[in-house]
Amino acid sequence: MHTTEQLQQILETAIQNLKFPDHPKQLYDPITYIINLGGKRIRPLLVLMGTELFGKDAHDSIHAAMAIEVFHNFTLVHDDIMDNAPLRRGKATVHEKWSTNTAILSGDVMMVEANKNLAKVNPIFLKDVLDTFNATAQGVCEGQQLDMEFESRDDVSIEEYINMIRLKTAVLLGGALKLGAIIAGASEKDADLIYQFGENIGIAFQLQDDILDVYADPEKFGKQVGGDIIANKKTFLLLKAFELADGEIRESLDTWTGYKDFDNKEKVETVRLVYDTLDIQNIAKESMNKYLEKALYLFNQINVGDAQKSNLLTLTNQLMAREY
């Protein structure tokens, strides 16, 4: 069984060994560019960890891990177009560096490249691997669509929001772990348990992100604190605030979310004060902890020893230990 650091090295080597066609250069250069921007590589790491959890070698699932990494980066390329984002990991986004049309096409061919990596998986597992990958990929697209639709709706429920983040963010974590489990020959029950574990961790992680966006130390967060408030993003915190607010507090919330022109700092401070008055941070933390506890409950039911579970448990704790 490899250490997490060794698994990360296996991933980096495999990523550097990814080969794409040379021509047309404008189609394939953006793929190399976005993949080499780095990132934590959590999703492909989960594929390898899912395999080693069930006693097989990480190298058995490296092609599936590459498929997940290429697919994830494909979604980033297209998300950046939809969000009109100029930067990704501190560098120009693909559509900014090349063009929107090139970014669309490069993203499309990344989906093909992801499938080419999946085709290298042991044929014994290929049908289950493809079924899992396709369900995961479709879920991510559905989540993105719902997220876009929420922008023009003022009746989004918290239940709908949780389902959206489940699809947009969490199914990819669950799917990555399940791919690793399938390739390790895990039982159907254990493969489903590890999927549900990943999904619930993903929801908890996104809820934590919602909280951090408002309450994180700007020095440690790595991006603008209050960005969700400035953009009127329908996070758990904003939806819960609308659910609970009345009287003057509701009036303040309506006013600030309705302004077209405003001072960013003043808006963030005012809306955060509304959240503090309604105890929204603690309510959000309770919800986050509920999904984390459910994930760990499911993880405990997986039929492998504690020693095999230790790496994944440590990674989970690290993911959920970001500072406020």
Which string of b and e fits 73-107 if b means at least 16 CB within 10 Å?
A: bbbbbbbbbeeeeeebeeeebbbbbbeeebbebbb
Q: How far apart (Å, rounded) are the C-alpha atoms in residues 154 and 56?
A: 48
How high is the pLDDT of residue 38? Answer: 81
Three-state helix/strand/coil letters over 148-216: HHHCCCCCCCHHHHHHHHHHHHHHHHHHHHHHHHHHCCCCHHHHHHHHHHHHHHHHHHHHHHHHHHHHC
Contact 77, 103 (CB under 8 A): yes
Helix (H/G/I), strand (E/B), else coil: 146: helix
Q: Which amino acid is at 10?
A: I
What pTM, to 2 d.p., does this model score? 0.95
The tokens of 159 are what? 């239940």
User: Would you place residue 125 in the very low, low, confident or very high pLDDT band (cuts 50, 70, 90)?
Assistant: very high
Q: How far apart (Å, rounded) are the C-alpha atoms in residues 148 and 164?
A: 10
How high is the pLDDT of residue 324? Answer: 62
Indicate the average pLDDT of the chain.
95
Closest among 54, 76, 50 to 64, alpha carbons compared: 50
Contact 125, 63 (CB under 8 A): no
How high is the pLDDT of residue 200? Answer: 98
Contact 111, 118 (CB under 8 A): no
* pLDDT, average across residues 291-317: 97
Q: 172 pLDDT exceeds 90?
A: yes
Q: What is the pLDDT of residues 203-237, one digit of tens each?
A: 999 999 999 999 998 777 666 789 999 999 999 99
Q: 249 pLDDT exceeds 80?
A: yes
User: Would you place residue 65 in the very low, low, confident or very high pLDDT band (cuts 50, 70, 90)?
Assistant: very high
How high is the pLDDT of residue 39? Answer: 85
- Helix (H) / strand (E) containing 100: helix 100-118
User: Would you place residue 322 in the very low, low, confident or very high pLDDT band (cuts 50, 70, 90)?
Assistant: confident
Q: 53 pLDDT exceeds 90?
A: yes
Domain coordinates of the chain in residue numbers? Answer: 1-184, 187-324
Are 1-184 and 187-324 equal in CATH topology?
yes
Residues counted in the chain: 324
Concatenating the DSSP letter of every residue in 46-78 gives HHHHHHHHTT--GGGGHHHHHHHHHHHHHHHHH
**Cα 83 to the center of its chain, rounded Å:** 16
Q: 180 pLDDT exceeds 90?
A: yes
Concatenating the DSSP letter of every residue in 219-286 gives HHHSS-TTHHHHTT---HHHHHHHHH--HHHHHHHHHHHH-SS--HHHHHHHHHHHHHHTTHHHHHHH
Question: Which CATH entry fits the domain spanning 187-324: 3.30.1330.20, 3.30.70.141, 1.10.600.10, 2.40.50.110?
Answer: 1.10.600.10
- CA angle, residues 224, 323, 233, in degrees to nearest 5: 40
What dotted CATH number matches 1-184? 1.10.600.10
Residues pairing with 92 in the sheet = 87
Q: What is the pLDDT of residues 160-169, one digit of tens each?
A: 999 999 999 9
* pLDDT, average across residues 41-67: 98
* pLDDT, average across residues 281-301: 98
